[in-house]
């Protein structure tokens, strides 16, 4: 019996809920809160490196905010276009990862890569009053995670026209083998190249007037790339290069 294909645009509920939360928060900030109230929301939920060099009660939220802002900053955006850009990237890559991980692993992975992006921002802006908001760090982590399986034989990109559920469950390549895949390396090279251009100010992101927190993008991406095996529920293949499984060098090892 032929397997029933899952529509490519059928967004998992957890991804829709994540985007919905971001949209609702943005609408409340724009249409419900006063400018003073919105400023207090930013002080309590945006990621601000200055928090970590002053007394805990210098910012709303105290010590608790020193922890939760590693994640909550991802649900705040600088404008409708900023939000729209992140949504446009979150939809395809979040969908791919959510179909593979399931909702709980997806949410934890989203939080971890958000925190990794914030940590990279903190490391490169220690003690500065540089407010960081936006889901770009987590989205970068999802993009990195998707590269670990999307290019494999039978994966969602390989079966672009008919990406059913099983396409998201193909064994992932070990990291070293992924980095031997020319398609993966081309994707990574373009991604890092764009972030380098963001960093030197050659390229601006639509809807964002302030400097791009490109270090957070890199932090989230590296976390997604390296931590992927800790979240992946699918057993890894022994070795894959360009979508082909490599046999073990010594059959007796089995």
pTM of the predicted model as reported, rounded to 2 decimal places: 0.83
pLDDT for 199 equals 56
pLDDT for 210: 54
Phi, psi at residue 136, to the nearest 5°? Answer: -60, -35
Nearest-Å Rg of the Cα atoms of the chain is 20
Q: How many Å apart are CA 202 and CA 208, to the nearest integer? A: 14
Torsion of CA 97, 103, 108, 109, to 10 degrees: 0
The band of 252, judged by pLDDT with boundaries at 50, 70 and 90, is: very low
- pLDDT attached to residue 254: 36
**SS3 assignment, position 47:** strand
Query: What is the distance of C-alpha 82 from the center of its chain?
Result: 15
More confident residue, 239 or 49: 49
pLDDT of residue 208: 47
Half-sphere exposure of 98 (CA within 13 A, CB side): 20
Residue 143 CA to residue 79 CA, distance in Å, equals 22
Distance CA 245, CA 120 (A): 35
pLDDT digits (tens, 9 = 90+) for 89-144: 999 999 999 999 999 999 999 999 999 999 999 999 999 998 999 999 999 999 99
pLDDT-based confidence at residue 236 (cuts at 50, 70, 90) = low
pLDDT in tens, 148-203: 898 877 777 654 445 577 788 888 888 888 777 877 888 788 877 776 675 554 34
Q: b vs e for 11-42, b when ≥16 Cβ sit within 10 Å of the residue's Cβ?
A: bbebbeebbeebbebbeebeeeeeeeeeeebb
Query: Which positions ≥6 away from 90 have C-beta within 8 Å?
Result: 15, 18, 19, 135, 139, 142
Angle at 110 (CA atoms; ends 14, 69), nearest 5 degrees: 115
Domain boundaries, the chain: 13-246
pLDDT bucket at 145, cuts 50 / 70 / 90: very high
Helix (H/G/I), strand (E/B), else coil: 244: strand
For 13-246, CATH number out of 3.40.50.300, 1.20.1540.10, 1.10.510.10, 1.10.1740.10 equals: 1.20.1540.10
In angstroms, the Cα distances linking 102 to 48, 61, 177, 205 are: 31, 32, 25, 31
Residue 29, pLDDT > 80, answer yes
Residue 247 pLDDT? 38
Cα 174 from Cα 246, distance rounded (Å): 11
Is residue 108 within 8 Å of residue 231, measured between CB atoms?
Answer: yes
Helices 214-231 & 103-124, crossing angle to 10 degrees? 140
pLDDT classification of 211: cutoffs 50, 70, 90: low
pLDDT at 150: 85
């Amino acid at each position: 019996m032929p397997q029933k294909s899952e529509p490519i645009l059928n967004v998992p509920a957890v991804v829709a809920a994540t985007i919905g939360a971001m949209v609702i928060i943005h609408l409340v900030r724009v249409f419900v809160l006063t400018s003073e109230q919105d400023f207090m929301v930013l002080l309590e939920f945006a990621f601000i490196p200055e928090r970590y060099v002053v007394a805990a009660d210098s910012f709303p939220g105290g010590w608790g905010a020193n922890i939760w802002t590693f994640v909550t900053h991802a649900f705040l955006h600088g404008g409708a276009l900023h939000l729209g850009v992140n949504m446009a990237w979150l939809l395809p890559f979040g969908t791919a990862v959510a179909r593979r991980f399931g909702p709980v692993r997806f949410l934890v992975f989203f939080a971890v890569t958000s925190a990794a992006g914030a940590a990279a921002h903190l490391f490169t802006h220690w003690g500065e009053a540089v407010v960081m908001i936006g889901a770009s760090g987590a989205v970068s982590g999802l993009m990195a995670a998707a590269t670990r399986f999307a290019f494999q034989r039978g994966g969602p990109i390989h079966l672009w026209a008919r990406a059913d559920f099983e396409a998201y469950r193909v064994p992932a390549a070990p990291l070293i083998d992924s980095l031997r895949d020319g398609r993966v390396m081309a994707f990574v090279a373009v991604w890092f190249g764009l972030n380098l251009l963001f960093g030197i100010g050659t390229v601006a992101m639509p809807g964002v007037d302030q400097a791009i927190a490109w270090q957070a993008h890199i932090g989230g991406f590296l976390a997604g790339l390296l931590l992927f095996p800790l979240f992946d529920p699918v057993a890894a293949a022994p070795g894959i290069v360009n979508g082909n499984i490599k046999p073990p060098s010594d059959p007796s090892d089995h």
